[in-house]
Structure 1
Amino acid sequence: MKQYFIYIFLASSVLSSLNSCGKHSKEESAEKEQEHSEEGHSHGEANSNIVEFSKEQASKVQGFFVETVILGDFHSIVKTSGQITSSPGDEAVIVATCSGLVNISNPSLVEGMQVKQGQTLFSISGDHLGEDNVATRTLEARTRYEAAKTEYERAQTLMKEAIISATEFRQIKLNHEQAKLVYEATSKGVSGGRKIISAPMTGYVKDLLVQAGQYVELGQKLAVVCRNNKLILRADVSQRYLPQIQTLKTATFTTPYDGKTYELEQLKGRLLSFGKTTNKDAFYTPVNFEFVNPGGITEGSFVEVYLKSEILPDVTTIPVKAVMEDQGHYYVFVQHAEGEYEKREIQTGDSDGIRILVKQGIKAGEKIVVGGAYSVKLASQAGTNQETHQH
């Protein structure tokens, strides 16, 4: 009987041990499975920003290239608006040299048309006018001049014979010179009874201020011709940036019609002036630069201006076109290996329209996609959409 109870006790112990082992095995298995799941999840998160963009794909993108991030000097930037105007010494105002009816030589003459120096632009006539008749005035001036010339030649003979005094001779000579000047001025540019007015320089018509058949007075503006070789960049700066204006060095600007950004340093630009005083009615201070027009910059256009003041040494900057934006977040594609790029968010600062300051997110020595960054962005979006569909 005693032996029977011993067998029962041993059997119960074995069963209890087996149950305990099974329980621990299930718990260990569950723990391992959870760890594996967490590892898989974290691994998936770690690679969610990796974009595969093969060498073959890159070769099909025009201008694709990567750039190594380096430290360098940058400027503190004041971004504002401005306008391109012509340089005062680079334009000429054409005025009426007599009164009369104006005729435009080329009926197709319009603002913006190219003209050459000496090209006939206008003619002024006195047709159907009792007064201010060019032909009549020219004839009168010629008659007076010829009469004064004849009298002067006669006076020269009389002076030699001491028939007239020196005072009388000087007065006759003065009358002759005045009549000559009037006749030359009146007859200059006259052809066929019309006063011909030509372009004073090669350039383009900036302003056309009269219409054909219009009556004009002597000295009235007819047109403005501009060479467009030199231009003025005028930037209007808020008064809160007055301290920074004192340290202005140069500027860049972006034209709205083609999106190009120009550096004044490359256009032989120079700072002309900036406002030294303000008044209660002026909210902005003008800053003026002069530069050489490389061609393609339209006078009169409004532009975005990036004024450069004090230097910021040893900072991280990258090309603006390398930066992508998504719902207010800015990021770049960092190259890990050939064909593998990481989409990485960055914190940006000032921009001069060409390069942008990076405060956080990348460091010197890393390589980022500059040319073709948008193509990599499209590839990353395509990969995300495919993963979402498979899920």
Structure 2
Amino acid sequence: MKIVKYLGIGVLIVGALLAAAYFVKSNSKSPITYDTETPFKTTIQEKSVATGKVIPEDEVAIKPQISGIIGEILVEEGDVLEAGDLIAKITVVPNEQTLNTARGRVSNARISLGNAEIEYKRNKELFDKGVISAQEFNNIELTHNQAKQELANAQSDLQIIREGSAGGSSSANTNIKATIAGTILEIPVKVGDQVIESNNFNDGTTIASIADLSKMIFQGLVDEAEVGKLEVGSPLKISFGAIPDKEFDGELKFVAPKWNEEEETSSGVIQFRIEANVFMEEGYFIRAGYSANASLVLDKKEDVLAVKEALLQFDKETEEPYVEVETGEQEFERRDVETGISDGINIEIVSGLSESDRVKVWNKTEPLKKQ
């Protein structure tokens, strides 16, 4: 009986040990079955995106050659003009003080001429009789001619003040014409506004701004970490918020050599201005000031070994990249790798992997248990 009793106890102990071993073994297995992916050959482009706007390559401000009042505006914003087309007309309103001074100058010139004519006629008779020498008469004649010229000059100045021009050609100054062919972008004045002529002391009032909208440039900002990789002449792609699903080709034409304080972001990042030609296409109308993004290629490598960037892991201490490579069924080992350029999705593997390796998709989550 004791033997049977001990035998039964032994069976229970062995059974308990086997059950415990099975429980430990089953719990030591990972509940997740990891997928794997293999490295592949591809072309990788490292890109940067510059934000900015598109503006006309040449924008001309039309300014008057004479001060006055806008009497008539003959065009509207958006009109397409040829060089020489009439934009507006100016009515000359002379300054009263200046006008009075000009009138006084004319009166003085007439008085001087009258006196010079009397002297000229009297000395002409004396010269004809041989009383005075030719030299003396020449001086009298010169004074007479100068008096006539002074009167003519004074009368011309008076006409310019009254009408805007001399010799009956006042329309040359009072008629404001387009200096280039293009589209009217803005007319900041209206009929009745007073305008000031452009001179050495004043920029003058802008009557209208004109630009050729078939020649546009992209103007944007690039971070200092990327500006050193840019090369003038490099191709780029430009997209507009107003024209979805369409990219225009462009070419980098300028990279600012100096940072401007106004181009610093609120986060303190230093940025540099760039400009690029935009190659226009038929059927698309680009308005000045459209917001735009330019995609620039900083680096490009063809036919390189790569993996998806999501497969990389990073050492907590050294922050160096590594992957886990399958060595058996759901068994993996760590493999340190050296990486190259990345496009944000795929990353170049310089060393550490071959095309035959199977890399663990490490960030797979455990499926939810059914309740």
Q: Given the two structures, how large is their TM-score scaled by the length of structure 1?
A: 0.46
Q: Given the two structures, how large is their TM-score scaled by the length of structure 2?
A: 0.49
